[in-house]
Structure 1
Amino acid sequence: MNIPFLDSWLKRQGSGSRGGLDDPERASAMAELFAECELLRVRIGRMGLELDDTPASLAALDQLPPRWRDDPDELPWIGNDAGLYLGTVIVRTVPGAEWHVWPAGQPVVRLASGREIGVVEAGLDWAVHGAPELSQVYAEAAEA
Structure 2
Amino acid sequence: MNLPFLGNRRRKLADARFTAAPEAVAALLSECELLRSQAAQAGVRLDDTAASLEALDQLVPRWRDDAETLPWLGNDAGLYLGTVVVRTLPGAQWEIRPGEPPVVRLASGREIDVVTAGRGWAESGVPELSQLYAEVAEV
Q: Shorter-chain-normalised TM-score: which range? A: 0.7 to 0.9
After TM superposition, the score normalised by the length of structure 2 is 0.87
Once residues 120 and 139 of structure 1 are traced to their aligned partners in structure 2, the CA distance between those partners, rounded to angstroms, is 17
| Aligned position for 1:69 | 64
Equivalent position SS for 2:19: coil
| Aligned position for 1:59 | 54
Root-mean-square deviation (Å): 1.6
Cα distance, 1:140 vs structure 2: 1.1
Once residues 82 and 14 of structure 1 are traced to their aligned partners in structure 2, the CA distance between those partners, rounded to angstroms, is 25
| Aligned position for 1:36 | 31
| Aligned position for 1:7 | none
Equivalent position SS for 1:88: helix
Cα distance, 1:21 vs structure 2: 3.6
Structure 2 residue 122 is matched with structure 1 residue 105? no
| Aligned position for 1:22 | 19
Match of 1:124 among 113, 119, 122: 119
Aligned residues: 129
Once residues 140 and 88 of structure 1 are traced to their aligned partners in structure 2, the CA distance between those partners, rounded to angstroms, is 16
Q: Which runs of 5+ in 1 are unaligned?
A: 1-9
Q: Which runs of 5+ in 2 are unaligned?
A: 1-9
Deviations 1:49-91 (A, max 9, x none): 1101000000110011101101110000000000000000000
Specify which structure has the bigger relative contact order, considering alpha-carbon pairs within 8 angstroms and separated by 6 or more residues.
1
After TM superposition, the score normalised by the length of structure 1 is 0.85
Cα distance, 1:129 vs structure 2: 0.7
Deviations 1:69-119 (A, max 9, x none): 011100000000000000000000011100001232320000001000000
Counterpart of 1:120, as a letter, is V
Computing the radius of gyration from Cα coordinates, the structure with the larger value is 2
Deviations 1:16-70 (A, max 9, x none): 3xxx4432xx211110001000010011100111101000000110011101101
Once residues 22 and 100 of structure 2 are traced to their aligned partners in structure 1, the CA distance between those partners, rounded to angstroms, is 14
Q: Which runs of 4+ in 1 moved over 3 A?
A: none
